[in-house]
Amino acid sequence: MAIREILEVPDPRLKQVSKPVEVFDDALRTLVADMFDTMYDAPGIGLAAIQVGVPLRVLVIDLQPEDPDAEPQECTAHGGHSHTHRPTRKEPRVFINPVLTPVTEEQSVYSEGCLSVPDIYADVTRPARIHARWQDLDGTMHEAELDDLMATCLQHEMDHLEGILFIDHLSRLKRAMVLKKLEKIRRAA
């Protein structure tokens, strides 16, 4: 369990192209566990390894962010001793070496944010449905067709593996405005 530091623009490491994972070992498990800790702590709905400075093609996603106002849940499992759990998240998912292909001309627009571009939100247009292939922590191959927020988030994360940020999809003028605003926020902090 460890929360790692999230890199922010203009850190040049965010522009690196990440390398495929070739060895599915305990170091990879630790990286993924730390990425979940870091993502939930932030909090965010996705995280790419390069955002914690590791240039490997590894993504974690959980679209079910924890509701901070939810009541702790009484748990009677584990043989009777009573304790409480925080509400469970629906779907922690790991995507290793993902390959995405749009399966429709249809586009969707979503107001995106990024943990590496704090406090900035902007509309980004992306294919609405994608076919995805990826490996899990054991190296087993999976594939699925994904849509809605999962398609948006996976494409946002996939961009990180190519060194691309969501603000790179904006017009040059808008991107300049965003970077200026970020600078201003930083100066004020």
Tokens of 171: 């017009």
Enumerate binding residues for ligand GNR (CB under 6 A). Answer: 44-48, 51, 110, 112-116, 152-153, 156-157, 160
3-state secondary structure 81-144: CCEEECCCCCCCEEEEEEEEEECCCCEEEEEEEECCEEEEEEEEEEECCEEEEEECCCCCEEEE
CA distances from 166 to 25, 93, 101, 142 (A): 31, 21, 18, 26
Q: Which of 114, 120, 167, 182 binds Ni ion (CB under 5 A)?
A: 114
Distance CA(17)–CA(142), nearest Å, equals 23
Cβ-based nearer residue to ligand GNR, 74 or 91: 91
Q: Which residues on neighbouring strands pair with residue 83, listed in sequence order?
A: 75
With tokens 């996976």, the residue in question is 154
Instruction: Kindly state whether residue 120 participates in binding Ni ion, applying the rule CB under 5 A.
Output: no
Provide the minimum distance between the beta carbon of 62 and ligand GNR in the complex, in angstroms, as a whole number: 10
Cβ-based nearer residue to ligand GNR, 45 or 130: 45
Q: Among the options 74, 105, 112, 157, which is catalytic?
A: 157
Catalytic residue list contains 91: no
DSSP 3-state assignment of 56? strand
Cβ-based nearer residue to Ni ion, 8 or 103: 8
Instruction: Kindly state whether residue 59 participates in binding Ni ion, applying the rule CB under 5 A.
Output: no
Provide the minimum distance between the beta carbon of 160 and Ni ion in the complex, in angstroms, as a whole number: 6
Cβ-based nearer residue to ligand GNR, 58 or 83: 58
Residues that bind Ni ion (CB under 5 A): 114
Q: Which residue numbers are catalytic?
A: 157
